Every structure is written in structure tokens, then in C-alpha cells.
């Protein structure tokens, strides 16, 4: 929707540029350019907010991973192999997700929206994986 608005505004500016120069035209041209700039600034601001949220979630999951790794390191002999495999799988998923986050920072427009949704789902899956791991640990205690 925002992209469509930007495109329409750009088309309007282009059409107006083909009109003869008069005061009304100049005013509309100026206002259209301001609207395009404001839309771009808004989209950039929204992107920054979304990236900050995703970074925060990623940091929280990194802390969770560190806690699990420490727990398994301390109980190395007692921890079943499945726990270590689960942590290794979560660690690998975290690496993949970090790569997606780096890619997302480079994207804009519709590609950003789609990638943001994919990354958010991946972070949700990792969070669910951590929840399952902690539930298994509590069952064994």
C-alpha cells in the first residue's frame, strides 16, 4: 500500500512535470515532492523499528542458547545425547537466522516485508525449540 502510494505520487509528479510551468503547477510539484520524501522517511523509520525488534529477539535467543550450552557443559556426563543434538540444531538454526537478518538489513520495499515475515517466523520456531528443550530438562529434574 505504501509502495503503491509512492508510485502514484511519483507518476503524478512526472505528469505534472509535463504541464506548463505556472504557480499552481509549481506548488503542486513541490507538495508532491515533499509527500514522496515524507513517505520515504516514514518507510525508513518503520524499517529501523522492525530491525530493532528483530535484533532484540535475536539477542534474547542468543542469551537463551548460552544458558542451555552452559547447563549442558556443566552436566556433560548426565545430559543425554539428544539434548546435545537439540542444542546443536538450535545453534545451527540461529546461524541461519543471523544470516537472514544480515540480508534483511540490505533489503527495502516489498522484499523487506516478505523477508521480515520469514525471519520473524524463524525466530518464533527457534523460541519454540528453546521452550521444548527447557521442558525436557525440567522433566528430567
Look at residue 121 in the predicted model and tell me its pLDDT: 87
* Total number of domains in the chain: 1
Report the percent of the chain where pLDDT is more than 70.
77
CB burial of residue 87 (10 Å; 0-12, 13-18, 19+): buried
Tell whether the model's pLDDT for residue 4 goes beyond 80. no
* Model pLDDT for residues 88-114, shown as the tens digit of each residue: 888 888 888 888 888 888 877 677 777
* Model pLDDT for residues 12-54, shown as the tens digit of each residue: 656 556 655 567 767 777 877 877 777 777 877 888 888 888 8
Look at residue 20 in the predicted model and tell me its pLDDT: 54
Tell whether the model's pLDDT for residue 8 goes beyond 60. no
117: region left, alpha or beta (phi > 0 left; psi from -120 to 50 alpha): alpha
Mean residue pLDDT of the chain comes to 77
Tell whether the model's pLDDT for residue 81 goes beyond 70. yes
- Per the model's pLDDT, the better-predicted residue between 134 and 10 turns out to be 134
- Cell digits of residue 102: 544480515
For the ranges 58-62, 116-120, 137-141, the maximum mean pLDDT occurs at: 58-62
> What does the angle CA 54 – CA 49 – CA 53 come to, to the nearest 5 degrees?
25
From the list 109, 130, 135, 110, the residue with the least C-alpha distance to 58 is: 130
- Write out the residue range of the structural domain in which residue 109 sits: 2-140
Mean pLDDT value across residues 63-90: 77
Amino acid at each position: 500500500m505504501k509502495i503503491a502510494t509512492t508510485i502514484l505520487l511519483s507518476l503524478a509528479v512526472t505528469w505534472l512535470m509535463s504541464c506548463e510551468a505556472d504557480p499552481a503547477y509549481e506548488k503542486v510539484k513541490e507538495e508532491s515532492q515533499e509527500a514522496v520524501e515524507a513517505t520515504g522517511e516514514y518507510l525508513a523509520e518503520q524499517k529501523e523499528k522492525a530491525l530493532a525488534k528483530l535484533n532484540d529477539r535475536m539477542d534474547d535467543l542468543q542469551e537463551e542458547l548460552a544458558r542451555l550450552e552452559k547447563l549442558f557443559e556443566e552436566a556433560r556426563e548426565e545430559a543425554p545425547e539428544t539434548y546435545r543434538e537439540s542444542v546443536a540444531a538450535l545453534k545451527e538454526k540461529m546461524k541461519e537466522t543471523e544470516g537472514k537478518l544480515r540480508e534483511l538489513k540490505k533489503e527495502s520495499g516489498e522484499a523487506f516485508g516478505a523477508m521480515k515475515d520469514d525471519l520473524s517466523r524463524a525466530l518464533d520456531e527457534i523460541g519454540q525449540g528453546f521452550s521444548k528443550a527447557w521442558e525436557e530438562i525440567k522433566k528430567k529434574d
